[in-house]
Amino acid sequence: MPGVGFMVAREWMACYPPTFIEKPCGRQLGVGRGLERRGRRRARMPQGGGKSVESCEFLQDSIGSTRAGDHTGARSERADRALPPPRLCAFAPLRLCAFAPLRRASAGPGRPAVFPPSSQQETTIIMTTSFAESLAIAIVPTAPIYTDYGSGASLNVAIYRPVSIPDGWYYLGDLAVSLPSSVPYTSPAVANIAPYAVIVQPLDGNAVCPVNAGTQALWTDQHSDGAQDIEIWAPQPAKQGYTALGLFAWVGEGYEGSPAGSFWWNKLAAINSSYVKPGEFGRMIWSDQNSGAKGGGQWGDIAFWSITTSQLGLIPTNTFVAASDYSSPPVGLVPAPNILPTL
């Protein structure tokens, strides 16, 4: 079943001195095959652009998840250094391998994790690019906001959100990652596998639009034994011609009211549909099966699904989509969280 993702510029450009940039490396493979562990390589930058930097070793399995050789609690050592404001500049482009979500480098022993994301923290921008001089795009760290700890569900999941978002930038939706066991969201093990997220900045008035919440959540976890209350909401573009590329987790707010107007909801944006490309459903990340959840949302059951693609060169935003049963991917045309460099 096809979905849609949005398309950006052909090459990622460094947004600050190359010393701070990580470059994943590996051999491009066909659909359904992972990236081999290639050891560590150095990303050589142009003369005068600063010293080269070591990339984070990674291994991608056949279901599309990427496991980093170096994990962190919440911040890398590079995050401790003062970074200039994000900007587009003319450093040499970094070649990104197919299906290679970036992971943060090791924070070092004794460095605490950051729980949960804060609207007040300084944002660490990893790299930026732009599409058609209309949309700036950056990769940023995330922190966990939720796990299904205590829910009783057969599968386990963690949900993540950008650590912070600068003024004038927006994110596309929350991120979901399968867990091997049920642990609280404050566990360092959950922070250690935090994926990176994509945020966007409109460079003209047509690149993005706000999203509406509607009147009812897709699903709530009422009547489960989960340690945290959660509702899943589906952002709806406020204008025609735009596509929402993810879902929103309303955590710890009870089961009344709406997330509309909250800080994080207001930081969501839908993307101009002219930047959208087809995608394909991947694997099931999680479902509430056996959790006992029977909430007041539109759906009694829910399953989270990843998005894949048959095209090489995609850089996932790691957002997810949902279905109202456990047996099949979502029905119909849904957002595919992939960024496709143009050829």
Let me know if residue 76 belongs to a domain. Answer: no
**Category of 245 on φ-ψ map: left (φ > 0), alpha (ψ -120 to 50) or beta:** alpha
d(CA 341, CA 131): 9
d(CA 57, CA 38): 7
Let me know if residue 158 belongs to a domain. Answer: yes
Contact (CB, 8 A) for 207 and 274: no
Contact (CB, 8 A) for 308 and 40: no
At residue 138, the 3 state secondary structure works out as strand
d(CA 289, CA 123): 36
At residue 109, the 3 state secondary structure works out as coil
Cα 233 from chain centre: 16
Q: What is the pLDDT of residue 42?
A: 36
d(CA 322, CA 218): 9
Domain with 312, as residue range(s), is 2-11+106-341
Let me know if residue 85 belongs to a domain. Answer: no
Q: What is the pLDDT of residue 214?
A: 87
Q: What is the pLDDT of residue 254?
A: 81
Measuring CA to CA, how many Å separate 91 from each of 11, 82, 103, 129? Answer: 11, 19, 22, 11
d(CA 197, CA 199): 7
Reading the block at residue 183, the tokens are 């642990």
Reading the block at residue 166, the tokens are 């600068």
Q: What is the pLDDT of residue 315?
A: 58
For 144-187, give the DSSP string.
EEEE-TTS--SSEEEEEEES---TT-EE---EEEEESS---TT-
List residues bridging with 159 in a β-sheet.
Answer: 146, 176
Reading the block at residue 130, the tokens are 């732009």
Let me know if residue 73 belongs to a domain. Answer: no
Q: Please count the structural domains in the chain.
A: 1
Let me know if residue 64 belongs to a domain. Answer: no
Reading the block at residue 58, the tokens are 């990674």
**Category of 297 on φ-ψ map: left (φ > 0), alpha (ψ -120 to 50) or beta:** beta
One pLDDT digit (tens) per residue for the chain, 343 residues: 434 333 333 333 323 222 222 333 333 323 233 333 333 333 333 343 333 222 222 222 222 333 333 333 333 343 343 333 332 222 222 222 222 233 333 333 332 333 445 444 566 666 666 666 888 888 899 999 999 999 999 999 999 999 999 999 999 999 999 999 889 999 999 999 999 998 999 999 999 999 999 889 999 998 888 999 999 999 999 999 998 989 999 998 888 889 999 999 999 999 988 877 666 778 899 999 999 888 778 999 999 998 776 666 555 677 898 999 898 777 664 544 454 443 2
Let me know if residue 127 belongs to a domain. Answer: yes
Let me know if residue 82 belongs to a domain. Answer: no
